Amino acid sequence: MGILNVTPDSFSDGGRYADPRRAVEHALEMAAAGADLIDVGGESTRPGAQPVGAAEEIRRVVPIIEALAPQVQVPISVDTSKAEVMVAAVSAGASMINDVRALREPGALQAAARTDAAICLMHMQGEPRTMQSDPRYADVVAEVGQFLDGRVEACVDAGIGTERIVLDPGLCFGKRLEHNLALLAGLPELQRRGLPLLVGISRKSMFGTLLGRGLEERLAGSLAVAAAAVLAGAAIVRAHDVAETVDAVKVAAALRAAGYRTTIQRSSTAAEREAHRGA
């Protein structure tokens, strides 16, 4: 999934593709580089980001989607939490809704149900402005799994079939480094009902903490996690650096298809995991 932020303030490429012509060019470049999806976002969800009104978000994303839809052979996703934006984007040609709030905003669940778009449900603790202030979990894998189970049930109750649903554990969205690492190690446990998993880790802050790298120096870390996530079962990797990520994912997918399996299996309960840590 190639990332197309048409925002002035996204953490990695804010402002770079705010011009519609440049945004469309970049999307076409990502598709040519091997992206299977293009994810268009008009509101930053970085830590500390300020909210954007629905009208402004529509103004940013809809012309891009309208311009892209007849030019690309791959599906277009809209990265939004607002019901009005979902409806406008799908009408413009988007076929997936990627929601960091998992359809919990007013009217979002009902709006998504009225479309035939695929839905990505993501876990986030708190809100973008404050999510990294002090995230806490007793067992992050279990808690994220329970949240995703609940959102899947809400979708099913609203008439959204599970064949339309993708799950995202929300790495770096209200998580510390140790939470992100635990979720990556626990990806097999987060595969609910056979639903596909999406992982978005490209250039994220965990690489600053783990590697001491700035934004433009996080490619190697991003590729390592992309490959590891695919080996652990991820179906979609959301990335800025499409060509490089496509290569990493192809290698990991080939290994997985050849029967490669990790030798360390996570325990099924929090108590057993804690016992392993102390061993």
Q: Is 35 within 8 Å of 76 (Cβ atoms)?
A: no
User: Does 204 qualify as catalytic in the annotation?
Assistant: yes
pLDDT in tens, 263-274: 444 444 455 545
Look at residue 14 and tell me whether its pLDDT is greater than 90: no
Instruction: Give me the domain span that covers residue 133.
Output: 2-278
Q: If pLDDT is split at 50, 70 and 90, which confidence band does 276 have?
A: very low
Sole residue written with tokens 């390592």: 224
CA distance 257 to 75: 25
pLDDT in tens, 121-161: 999 997 777 777 788 999 999 999 999 999 999 999 999 99
- pLDDT recorded at residue 127: 78
* CA quadruple 124, 128, 129, 133: dihedral, nearest 10: 40
Look at residue 241 and tell me whether its pLDDT is greater than 70: yes
Q: Across all residues in the chain, what is the average pLDDT?
A: 90
φ and ψ at 119, to 5 degrees? -130, 130
CATH number at residue 25: 3.20.20.20
CA distance 266 to 232: 11
- pLDDT recorded at residue 79: 97
CA distance 139 to 51: 30
pLDDT in tens, 58-97: 999 999 999 999 999 999 999 999 999 999 999 999 999 9
- The percent of residues above 70 in pLDDT, for the chain, comes to 89
Structural domain count of the chain: 1
**C-alpha distances in angstroms, 131 versus 128, 172, 210, 253?**
5, 9, 19, 32
User: Does 238 qualify as catalytic in the annotation?
Assistant: yes
Q: Give the active site residue among 151, 175, 204, 218.
A: 204
Look at residue 181 and tell me whether its pLDDT is greater than 60: yes
* 177 contacts: CB under 8 Å, gap ≥ 6: 206, 209, 210
Q: If pLDDT is split at 50, 70 and 90, which confidence band does 20 have?
A: confident
- The percent of residues above 90 in pLDDT, for the chain, comes to 76
Q: Give the active site residue among 238, 261, 266, 273.
A: 238
